[in-house]
Amino acid sequence: MDRLRRALARVSGEALGPYQSAVVRIGFAGTWLFFLLREFPHRHELYGPDGPWSWELAQRLVSGNHAFTVLLWSASGWWFELVYGLAAAASALLALGWRTRATSVLFMAGVLSLQNRSVFMGDGGDNVVHLMAMYLVLTRCARVWSLDARRARLRGSASAGATGPVLWGVLGAVLAYGGLSGRLGGGWTAVFAALWTGAALWWLVERYEPEGERRAALDVLANLLHNAGMLVITAEVCLIYATAGWYKIQGSRWQDGTALYYPLRLDYFTPWPELSGVLAGSGVAVMLLTYGTVLVQVAFPFTLFNRRVKNVLLAVMMLEHAGIAVLLGLPFFSLAMIAADAVFLPTGLLVRVGARVRLPRRGAPPRPALSPAPGSAPRPWEVPPDAAGRVPASPAGGGS
pLDDT, tens digit (0-9, with 9 covering 90-100), for 154-178: 876 655 567 778 888 999 999 999 9
Following CA atoms 190, 195, 196, 200 in sequence, which dihedral angle do they give, to the nearest 10 degrees? Answer: 140
Same domain, 310 and 209: no
Instruction: Classify residue 368: in a domain, yes or no.
Output: no
Centroid of chain to Cα 10: 23
Contact 68, 58 (CB under 8 A): no
The pLDDT-based confidence of 399 (bands split at 50, 70, 90) is very low
Q: Tell me, yes or no, whether 213 and 166 share the same domain.
A: yes
Phi and psi torsions of 139, nearest 5°:
-95, 155
Distance CA 355, CA 286 (A): 40
Among 310, 344, 378, where does a domain finish?
A: 344
Residues 84 and 219 in one domain: yes
pLDDT tens-digit series, residues 59-86: 999 988 889 999 999 989 999 999 999 9
Alpha-carbon gap, residue 194 to 203, rounded angstroms:
14
363 domain-assigned:
no
- Which pLDDT tens digit goes with each residue over 294-348? 999 999 999 988 899 999 999 999 999 999 999 999 999 999 999 999 999 999 9
Torsion of CA 120, 126, 129, 135, to 10 degrees: 40
- Gap between the Cα atoms of 264 and 273, Å rounded: 8
**Distance, CA of 140 to CA of 17 (rounded, Å):** 10
Q: How many helices (H) and strands (E) does the chain have?
A: 17, 0
Give residue 71's domain range.
13-236
Q: How far apart are CA 107 and CA 31, in angstroms?
A: 12
Residue 286 and residue 183 in one domain: no
Q: Is the pTM of this model over 0.85?
A: yes
For the ranges 150-154, 216-220, 355-359, the maximum mean pLDDT occurs at 216-220
